[in-house]
Amino acid sequence: MRIVSGMRPSGRLHIGHLSVLGNWIRLQSENECFFFVADWHALTTSFDNTEAIRENRREMVADWLAVGLSPERSTIFVQSEIPAHAELHLVFSMVTPLSWLERVPTYKDQVQQLGEQGKDISTYGFLGYPLLQSADILVYRADAVPVGQDQLPHLELCREVARRFNHLYQPVFPEPKALLAKAALTPGVDGRKMSKSYGNEISLSGEQGAVEERVRMMITDPARIRKNDPGHPEVCNVFTFHSSYSLDEVPEIEADCRAGKIGCVACKKRLAVALNSMLDPVRVRREQILSDRDYLDGVLEEGRKKAAAEAVRTMEMVREALRI
Ligand code: TRP
Ligand code: SF4
């Protein structure tokens, strides 16, 4: 199968991204994968603040490689370096009714949400966000797209656009299907969804001390006042994390908590140790990667070449179909 997926350059990733990245890493061993930094998409909401985009791009790709995305197996590149994404977006903008874009559920919500934060996002480009995404996918004639639940409406639009193009001209595009990552919605340290904008994330690249600090902030079972009060792991965020990251220790932690045999301070220490031992090798690889500027540039240049070759081929088919 041919797989395409992208991520906006949000900079350093956090452990909430691990489920999506784990999915990418599994897919790359048996499929032809294209993974890219969606830097044009970053402009849709941050057109007035572009100064961080380049640096964020590097930080993010370093995280991808540090957790195990492989430039030998996958084509890893930057969206804005492949002009065909923009070209195909233009073609699609000619054939896509406005109403299709206006009814994408995330659209009105986001315009309103950002509007309330004082940000006017009623631009042409933001309305076209999912159409650019469709071009990203279809320019590689992808069969499948690993995405989170929130992206399903965008993928549905992508399929509709492919269908419409094929019907109007010639069958050029497959209708890509969504590959949903296992719904591992990692909560943040405050129990809300993990997100940099809430400041509740555990960064992949944070120092050990930063991880300890974040774990200390976590809210535990409020019914436990003394350390030998019996606890209720099912209401405790620390336990949610243990369940994901402490593996074989989980039954013991659960039993000790219920029996009041482990205090929350000690329990949190154990969690910090588990997280840090998971993150240690990632930190080491990330450092290595970022210490060698040429290496990362080389990976992205190699990816650019491979992606461009494929995208150019698609655009030839598109021009042929359009008779232009
Ligand atoms: N919209 C996606 C997100 O916010 C990022 C993205 C852009 C993407 N283009 C894509 C994802 C193409 C999959 C395929 O997460
Ligand atoms: Fe949560 Fe651990 Fe405290 Fe139990 S002992 S309430 S699992 S932090």
Question: Which of 214, 219, 221 has most ligand 2 atoms within 8 Å of CB, for mutation?
Answer: 221
Distance 146 CA to ligand 1 centre (A): 9
Using 70 as the pLDDT threshold, list the residues of the chain that sit under it.
183-185
- pLDDT number for residue 184: 63
Which atom number of ligand 1 is nearest to the Cα of residue 133? Answer: 9
- pLDDT number for residue 177: 97
What residues are paired with 76 via a beta bridge?
35
Structure token pair of residue 324: 């232009």
- pLDDT number for residue 183: 62
The helix or strand, by DSSP H or E, that contains position 31, with its residue range, turns out to be: none
Of the candidates 143, 141, 174, the one whose C-alpha atom is nearest the C-alpha of residue 27 is: 143
Distance 6 CA to ligand 1 centre (A): 5
Counted residue by residue, the chain has a size of 324
Distance 268 CA to ligand 1 centre (A): 35
CB 229 within 8 A of CB 223: yes
Phi-psi bin for 11: left (phi > 0), alpha (psi -120 to 50), beta?
A: left
Distance 8 CA to ligand 1 centre (A): 7
- pLDDT number for residue 26: 95
Model pTM score: 0.93
Residue of minimum CA distance from atom 3 in ligand 2? 264
- pLDDT number for residue 185: 66
- Domain annotation for the chain: domains and CATH numbers: 2-186+293-322 (3.40.50.620), 206-285 (1.10.240.10)
Which atom number of ligand 1 is nearest to the Cα of residue 4? Answer: 14
CB 271 within 8 A of CB 263: no
CB 30 within 8 A of CB 168: no
Of the candidates 9, 120, 117, 16, the one whose C-alpha atom is nearest the C-alpha of residue 58 is: 9
CB 167 within 8 A of CB 26: no
